[in-house]
Structure 1
Amino acid sequence: MAHKILIIFLLASLSFSTGVVWGQSQKINSLKILVDDGKKDKNQVGILNRLSTLLKTSNAQESERYAQKALQLSLDIFYTIGQAEAYTNLGDLSASYRDDFLQAAKYYEKAYDIYRELYKNNQVEKWQVYRFLTENAIPTYNKLTEKPKRRRYRKARKYYQKLYVEFTEYLTFIASATKEKLSDKELELKDKDVELKAKEKEILTKQAALKNIDKKLRRAGLELKQRQLAQKFLELAKDSLSDSLFIAESIRLKLVDSLVLKELEIKDNKLKIQENALQLLTQRQKVERLENEKARQRTLITSFTVGVTLLLALAFVLYRSNRLQKRSNTLLTERNEEIEQQNEEIRTKNEQIETKNKKITESINYAQRIQKAILPDHAAIEALLPNSFVYYRPYQIVSGDFYWFGVVGKKIIYAAVDCTGHGVPGAFMSMIGSALLNEIVKQKQITESHIILNDLHVGIRDSLRQEETHNQDGMDMAIVVIDTENYQMDFSGAKNPLVYIQDGELHFIKGDRYPIGDVINKSERDFTKHTIKLDKSTVCYMFSDGYQDQFGGPEKRKFMGKRLREMLLQYHHLDFAKQKEIYEKTLLEWIEETGQIDDVLLIGFKFDQEVVENTEINLIKANQASI
C-alpha cells in the first residue's frame, strides 16, 4: 500500500513539475510576442529584463542578448531601475556562463551604485537592494573564493575584495527591514489567493447553470420527437382501420346470407389488431423513456465523476501549496536568523579590521614623514638648477621610488631611483639606497657616475647579505654628474635611461641591462659611463618606469616609452612649472578609469651658460652645507 501511495505521489509530482516547465515556456513565448523594437519605454525594458532572467538557465546566450538590449534601451531613455536590473543579469551571466568573474564584479559594482542611489532617493524598496546583494553579488563572490588560485581569477579576487566589504557593510545597513518586507509580501499573496478562490467559485457556478440549461434543451427535444412519432403511429392505425372496414363491408354485401358468422369473426380480429397496435405504441414509448432516463443518469454520473476529480485535484494543489508555503516560511525564518548571526560576526570582524587598519595606517603615515625627511630639499635643488621640476607620485602612502641630490666641489650629482616593489617594502629599500649614496658620494667623495653605481651594487649586496639569503631585491636607477667647470655631464644607468634635448633634437641613452643588487653571482659590476658636452643649452629628463607602464586611455593599454619621449620633446621648451603641470594632467587623464598601478618619478632640468654663471656662489653654499 505504501509503495502504491509513493508511486501515485511521484506521478503527481512529475505531472506538476512538467506543468511548471510548460507554464514557464508559455510565459517566455508570451513575453517574446510583446517585444517590439519600435517601442522605447519602461515597459519594453521590463519585458527584456524579465526574458533575460527566465532564459538564464535554459539559453544563456539568448539571455545575454536580451540583457544587452535592455541595458541599451534603459540608457537611451534614462531608466535607472532598468539599468540596474540589466547590469545584474549581465553580472550573473558573466560569472556562470562566461566564467569571467572580473567582468561580473564590474557589472555588479555599476548595479550596486545605481541601487544605492535609488534607495537613497526612495525610488526602490529595501528588499530589492537586499535581494540583489544576497542573491546575486555576494553569492558570486563566494563562488569565486572556491575557484582554484589560478592567474585568471587573481585579478577578479583583488578587484572583488574591496567591493565585498562594501557590499556586506551596506547589507548590514538594510538587513533590519527584511522581515517586515517579507510579512508584507505574505499578506499580499494571501489576498491574491482569496481573490483567486472567489473567481474560481464564480466560474463553477456559471458552469453549473450552463449544464442545467443544456439538460432542459435536450429534454425538450426528446419530448418533441416522441410526439411526432406517436402522431405517425396514430395516422397509420387510422388508415389501417379504414381499409379493413371497407373490405369487411364489401364481403358482407356479397356474403350477407352465407357469411354472417365469418363477418363477426373478422370484426373480432380487427379489434384485436387495433389493440395490438396500441400496445406496440405504448411499449415503444416506454422503451424510449427508459433509454432517455439511462442517458440522463450516465450524464449525471460523468459530471459528478469529473467534478469530484477536479475537486480532489484542487484540494491536492492547495494542500501542496500550503505545505510549500509553510516550508518556505520556515526556511526564510532560519535564513534570517543565519543572516543576522553572520551580520553580527561581520560587524565584529569589521571593527577588528578597522582597529588594525587604523594602527597600520598610522605607522605607515609616520614612515611617510621619515621618508620625506630623507628626500632632498627642493629649495637646494632650485638654487643650483633653477629651471627644473620633480614630479613624484607614490602609488601608496610610502614609495619605492626616490630621488637623490648632492654636491661635491663644482660637481652636481643627481639620481632617479626605482627600488624593487612599492609601498612599505619599497620604502625600506629607498632608505637603504639613500644612506649608501650619502656614504659613497658625500663621505668618500666619489664623483664618477659608473663607480658610484658599482659601489652601490656592492653595498646593496652586502647590506642584504644576498650571497647567503639569495635575496633578489635591488633597484634600477639613472644618475648624472654635472661638471660645471668643464661644461660636461657624465651619465650611467642601471636599466633606466637618460633623455636629453639639444637644438630641438632628442637624444636617448639606454642604461646597462642589469640592475643594482640581485642574486646573480657577481659581487662587482662594470657600469658604463657616457659623457655629454654641455656647450649649448641642454634639457635633461630622468624617470622610473612607473609613468610609461601605467595602463589607461581608450584601449586600456600602457602609456609606453615612445609616447613619453614624444611628449617630452613637444613641451621641453615650456617653463618647467608648466611642464610639470602638463605631465601630471596627462597622467591623471590616462589613468582616470584604470587607476594607478606603480610609483611615478619624473625629473627634468635645464643646463646652460646662464645657469653656470649664476650657480657658482650656490655651489659654494651647497658644499659648505654638505660639510
Structure 2
Amino acid sequence: MRKFLIYILTLFGILSAAMPAESQDLDSLWDVFNTVKDDTSKIILLNEEIGLYYESVNPDSAILMYDLAADIADKHIYNPGKVSKKHLFYFQFYKFTALRYAGMLYANFSEHTMAQKYFNNALSMTKMMYESGSTEKEKRILKGGLAACYVNIGITYYYTGVYEAAVSNYLKSLKLYEELISTCTNKSNRSKYKYGISTCYTNLGNIYQEQMSTEKALDYHFKSLEIKKEIEDKRGEGICLNNIGNTFLSKFNYKKAEEYYKKALDLAIKTNDTKSQSISYSNLGIVEKRLGNYDGAIEFYTTALKIKLELDDKNGITNVYSNIASLYISKADSIAKTESEKNMYISHALQYAEKALIIAREIKALPYVNEAYKNLMLVNKLRKNFKMAYLYADDYIVTKDSLFSDEKTVALNEMGAKYEAEKKQLKIDRLNNENKIKQVQIDKNKEEAQKQQLVINAIVIGLSVFLVFLLLVILLFMQKKKANKLLNFQKHEIQQKNDDLQQANHEILAQKEEIEVQRDLVVEQKDRIEEQKNLITTGIELAKNIQQSLLPHDEQAQNIFGNHFIIFKPKDIVSGDFYWGTKIDDLLIVTVADCTGHGVPGAFMSMMGISFLNEIVSKKKIFSAGEILDDLRASVISALKQKGFTGEQKDGMDMSLCVINTSNGNMQFAGAYNPCIIMKKSGEMIDLLPDKQPVAIYDRMKPFTNTECTLEKGDRIYLFSDGYVDQFGGPKGKKFRIAGLKELLIQTANLPIEHQKAKIQENLDQWMNGFEKNYDQIDDITVLGLVV
C-alpha cells in the first residue's frame, strides 16, 4: 500500500512539473506518459487524465485510451508470479475502473448495448476479486465498485425499457451502499456513499413514475433531493427538481410541475450546466403545450434542441423531436383554420416524428421508440392514411405492452417490498449473531477461570494445610465474586439483546395486523364496488327499456317502413345508434344516426335526437331533408350549450336522412358524414354522398345539402351507421370497410329482403368469429334496408 501511494504521489509530482496549472494540453500529457517508467502511473494517467481529455474532444479516442489502460493492466494480471498479491489487486482494480469509464462513455452517447458489455465485464471482474479472499479494506473498495456497476447497468436497462431488470440492479446497489455507510466513519467516503444512495433513489423514482406509481415516485425523488442538498451536489439538485416536476406533470398538476422546472432551470443557469438547462427548457415546453400555449412551447423546445444538438445528446434529441411532433399534431387537430395550414402542421409533425424514430431505433431506446410510433400513428390518422395509421398503432401497442403492464407494476412493487423485508431480516440476524458471539465469550471466560483454578491449586500444594485451606477459601471467594460479576454483566447484555429482538418481533406482528386490516378494507371496498356496479347495471337496463320504447317496434316499423329489415346491435346494454321513421300523408321520413360514443352517453344523445326529430317533423312541419338536419343541428347546439370551443364538435351525431314521396317516387337525401346507398331494380348502385360535417357545432358549418333523386317500385334503400364497416375481423384483422358492404349488397340484392338481412348478419358473424382469431364488437351497429 505504501508503494502504491508513492506511485500516486510521484505521478502527481510529475504532472505538476510538466503541466501548467490551467492548461494541461494533450502534448504535455503524452510527454508525461512517455516519461514515466512504471505501468501503474501510466494506467492512472490514461484513466484519469488522457482519457478524460479525449472525452471532451474525441470520445472514440477516449475509449481507446481506456482499452489501452485495461491492456496494460492485463500484462500484470495474467502474469501473477511476477507481481505481489497486493499489487495484483490494484492492477485488477485499475482495469475495472477503465472498463467502467468506457461503459459510461458509451452510455452517454446512448450506445447502451456496448455500455452493458463493458459494465458486465467490470461487474464480473469485481465479483471475482471480492470472492477471492481479499482483505476487509479491499472488500470495502470492491463493494463500492459493485454498487457503482449495478447502478450503471440499471441505467442502461432503464433507457432500453427493461424496467424490471433496472429495478433489480438499483436495489442491489442501494443495499450495498447502505451496508457501506452503516460501518463508515470517514466523512469523504460517507459523502460518496450518500451520493450513491441518492442516485438509486432518483432512478427508482423515475421507474415508478413511468409505471404511474406517482406517490412512490415523489417519495423517492424528495429523498434524493434531501441527500443532494446535504452533500451540496448542485447538479444533482437540478436533476431531482426536474424529476419532481415530471412526476407532478404526470399527475396533471401543471402549476407545481412548472414551479419545479423553473427552480431546476435557475439552478442549471447558476452552475452553467448546459445539459440540465436543455432538460428544463424541454420540460417547460411540455407544460406550455399542455396549457395550449403552442408558441411558448415551440420556443422552449427550440432552445432545448439547440443545446442537445451541440452536446450530441441522442436521448435528449429524440425526446425533443417527439415533443415537437406532438405539438404540431395538436395544432393540426385543434387550431388550424385552413386546410393548407393544417397540412403544413401535419408535414412538420411527420418530419419530426420520423427523425425521432430513426434516432430512437439507433440507440435502442424502447420508450422513445414507443413515443415515436404513437406520434406517427396520430399523424397518419390526420393525413387519412389509415393503413399506415393502423400499422403504427399496432407497433405502438406492442412496444407499450413491452414497457407497461399490470404484471410488471406488481413485480416492481414486490421487488421493493422484498428488499425492505430482507433489510429487516438482516437486522434481526445481526442481533442474533451478536448474541452468539457473547455466548462464546462467556464459555471462554469459564474455561479460563477453570485454568486459573488449576494453577492456584498447583501453587498452594506445598504450603501448610491451614495456609492452603485459608488461601484456597479466599481465592475461591474472590474468583467466584469476579466470575459472578462478569456473568451478571454478560447476562444483562444478553437480556438487552433479547429485548431488542422482542421489540423487532412486536413491530413485525403490528405490521402483519396492519396488512390484515388493509386486506379487510380492500375486500369491503370490493363489495361496495360490486354493489355500485349492480345498481349502475340496473339503471342502464332501465335506460335500455326506455330507449327501446322510443324506437319503432316490429308492428310499428312494419306500418312505417313497409317491406324492410333492421339490424340493430348495441355494443353495450344501451346504444349510441338509433333509427327513426314516420309517415305523414304521402311522405315517408326515415333516418339512421350514430351519436357520439356508445353506451350510456350515446344513449342519452340518441333519445335527445329522437325527441328533436319528432318535434321538427310533427310540430314544425319541416319536410325538406336538408332543412331537417339544419334544424336538428341548431337544437343540438342549443341543448348542449356549444360555443365553438375545442373538442365540442365531438359531441353530436353522424346520420343519413331520407324523405320519400311514396306517391311519385321522389326522394330527398341529406347526410352528416353517413351516406345512403340505393340499389336500383335494374342492378345499378347509386351512392348518395353526405356533407363532411356533424350534426353539432363545427368550425366550418354550412347548410346541409338537399340531394334529390327519383325512385322506382322495387328499388332498395340502405341507411347505416359506421359500426358495420369499421368492425375489425377477417383473416388479417382489418376493418370490413364500406367497399365490402357495397359488394355484399350487390351480391344479395336479388334476395327477398328478410333473406338479405340474414345474409348481412351471417356475414358479420363470419367476419368477427370465422377465422383464427375472434374479434369483439367495437361500436354500435345499425343497418336499415327498405324496399320502395
TM-score by length of 2: 0.37
Q: Which has the higher contact order (CA 8 A, sep 6+)?
A: 1
